A and B are shown apart, each in its own frame.
Chain A
Amino acid sequence: MNPRPARTSRSPEGGLPEGEALRRDIAARHRVGKVWLLLFQASTLVGIIALTALLYNVLNQSFGLVAVQNQVEPEMLTIEGVPLQDLTKEQLIAILEDHVSKGVMRRLESEIPFASRSRENVYSLVQERVVSPEIVRSWLFVDSIFRRAEILAEAAEEYPNAKIQFRAWVNWDFIRNSQSSTPALAGVRTALLGSLWMIAITILIAFPLGLGAAIYLEEYASDNLLNRIIQTNISNLAGVPSIIYGMLGLAIFVRALEPLTSGALFAASDPTAANGRTILSAALTLALLVLPLIIINAQEAIRAVPRSLRQASYALGATKWQTTWHHVLPSALPGVLTGTILAMSRAIGETAPLVVVGASTFIALDPNGPFSKFTALPIQIYQWTARPQDQFRNIAGATIIVLLVLLLSLNASAVLLRNRYSRRM
């Protein structure tokens, strides 16, 4: 590319090019424009490739063939030629008694007496305790499609008793199940609920605080040294690494404010939590983390409200607050909501501060309030990708899909909300 192609074609005495020289000059200018266009297209392409690679990886992990091996084959459990699924309740109980220890039988009896269990319940007990299918090997999605024959041959050799079937790791059971040390039975229910609780409390705290601060800074604060220092600090806080916020949260919310965050003050503390490592602590930490983002975005939105609108309001004898409440805020709201959406997306994907604040890695009980112990989707992903077994990577991939879907649906609802407000004229 020649940035100044026209120079040589200019007439020696200077002035603007004419005739042939003008034509060449214009062509050269268009060429420069084309080069830049190509550069921009290339950068967009790089972004698209990166996104595609991410999605490819995630999907590759989340679907694929698995080899399922049963502890006891159902065919071995047929009685007089009647297959397992058609046996009566009494026959199923007999099978259970044959295959599990007396202690386990006693425990099952004391949970719900066998006499009052339904046949389906006993059947699923037999499936779980006796047949006990186990995934011994899983393959990636792409391999499952293109190397199916090889996989089948390999499986037949290595796991002669195993059944090969296609499995979507992200499925209804995966969302509904609690955590488990067996990847095939593990689910993200607790993590999903934890994330939802956390994001709800975070927004509830950060949105009003952030908007309030933005209104003060834009509409009320005078342009003095103190306010300028505050402004600069808020901008800088938006760039502080999130782990620092995690440490701040640990010091303030988990330790110093433990009576509050553990719920002891309200006599509502969860006996299993027994300290400040609760959903509330995590949400407060995330609220601190996204507060600068919300403030800055809300300020931008408020600043973008035309001055003529404010003047029109003042000229009618409106006070500052009436002007702000009736005109500035409604006009700024779509922008404020956009900023909040961004902040929410950031908060829901944060991992580092949650680790520091003390996310539990394994909880089987649903979080039932702000004072519960918690885990969150990114924490689960982090945990499961760190495990050596292959199948944990499969469920990590599935968790990523759940997280992305959650993120997209939260964003979509926020965008709908925003558009509704901007349509109100």
Chain B
Amino acid sequence: MNSLSVFADTRRPAPTGAILGVHCDNRCTVEARDLNVYYGNFRAVKGINLEVQRQRITALIGPSGCGKSTLLRSFNRMNDLIPGSRMEGLVLFGGYNIYDPDVDPVEVRRRIGMVFQKPNPFPKTIYENVAWGARINGFRGDMDSLVEQSLRQAALWDEVKDKLQQSALALSGGQQQRLCIARAIAIKPEIILMDEPASALDPIATLKIEDLMHELVEKYTIIIVTHNMQQAARVSDHTAFLMMDSDRAGYLVEHGPTRDLFTNPKDKRTEDYITGRFG
């Protein structure tokens, strides 16, 4: 499927001019409008309205089961892979609805990368882990330098440069997670989604990931789901707080600059949560 032809479709003018494709140039942000996600009959999140700021780190926090991960996965259509899931509302990427029937989820995921909770490197070599995504997406050029560049950006190059042909599974958990980040940035996404990227790691590896996020945000927009409020306070520029309603559907309570939200929450429930009174 020719991606440009889809997005350059003149019969369907995009709300804000050029979209998704190459014209985006790291200027795209993602925005949820009246978003509801269902798993079968169960509504996981409801009525989410959230605009993510470009080249900032946005943290999604909230108690367990409030739909943070569901919201995150709806930003790159990973929910499509779950049988029985469906959504209502809009997710706009550069102003264009990524759930439009014309949009191929493959392209969405190429533009909006993802790092998962548990490090999940491919059972291949370190080199191949980074190179694979670029290769299947039709990368032409110097693969060696792309791999090196991606590993450098992920602050992993110095640790693995002598063992690129060894199995990625031999790395430590923290290294594996940074490899997963290198793999994600090798395909030059505009946005990186991180689903509790440090929750399976020890404190030192966690710190490395957090430092890495600070470096990556120079180039990328990052959305991170975290259980750890200190982490949200440490790394994020913006924070969105979600909670679970009585029907177990997650909804957005409040969002804003992290400093404001943590020091001066507007909502009583946010205050209760960040002061540790529940959750």
Q: How far is the CB of A240 from chain B (nearest CB, A)?
A: 31
Q: Which residues of B contact A330 (CB under 8 A)?
A: 123
A115 within 8 Å of B (CB atoms)? no
Q: Which residues of A contact B120 (CB under 8 A)?
A: 306, 308-309, 311-312
Contact at B106–A312, with CB atoms within 8 Å?
A: no
Interface size on B, residues (CB 8 A): 29
CA distance A326 to B123 in the complex (A): 11
Choose from A312, A318, A322, A425 the contact partner of B116 (Cβ within 8 Å): A312
Interface size on A, residues (CB 8 A): 20
CA distance A312 to B186 in the complex (A): 13
Contact at B109–A322, with CB atoms within 8 Å?
A: no
Choose from A306, A309, A314, A318 the contact partner of B78 (Cβ within 8 Å): A314
Contact at B187–A316, with CB atoms within 8 Å?
A: yes
Contact at A317–B110, with CB atoms within 8 Å?
A: yes
Contact at A315–B136, with CB atoms within 8 Å?
A: no
Contact at B123–A331, with CB atoms within 8 Å?
A: yes
Given contacts A311-B78, A326-B136, A425-B167, contact A317 B116 (CB under 8 A): no
Contact at A317–B107, with CB atoms within 8 Å?
A: yes
Q: How far is the CB of B81 from chain A (nearest CB, A)?
A: 6
Contact at B132–A316, with CB atoms within 8 Å?
A: yes
Q: Which residues of B contact A310 (CB under 8 A)?
A: 81
Q: How far is the CB of B2 from chain A (nearest CB, A)?
A: 14
Helix, strand, loop or mixed for chain A's interface?
helix
Given contacts A322-B136, A326-B132, contact A316 B183 (CB under 8 A): yes
Q: How far is the CB of A230 from chain B (nearest CB, A)?
A: 18
Which of B81, B116, B167 lies at the interface centre, i.e. has the most chain A CB atoms within 10 A of its CB? Answer: B81
Contact at B169–A315, with CB atoms within 8 Å?
A: no
CA distance A316 to B130 in the complex (A): 10
Interface string of A299-321 (1 = CB under 8 A from B): 00000001011111111111100
Contact at B187–A317, with CB atoms within 8 Å?
A: yes
B91 within 8 Å of A (CB atoms)? no
CA distance A330 to B122 in the complex (A): 11
B114 within 8 Å of A (CB atoms)? yes
**26 intermolecular pairs with C-beta atoms under 8 Å apart:** A308-B116, A308-B118, A311-B78, A311-B81, A311-B114, A311-B116, A312-B120, A312-B122, A312-B180, A312-B183, A313-B122, A314-B109, A315-B184, A316-B110, A316-B137, A316-B183, A316-B184, A316-B187, A317-B109, A317-B187, A318-B133, A319-B106, A322-B136, A326-B132, A326-B136, A425-B169
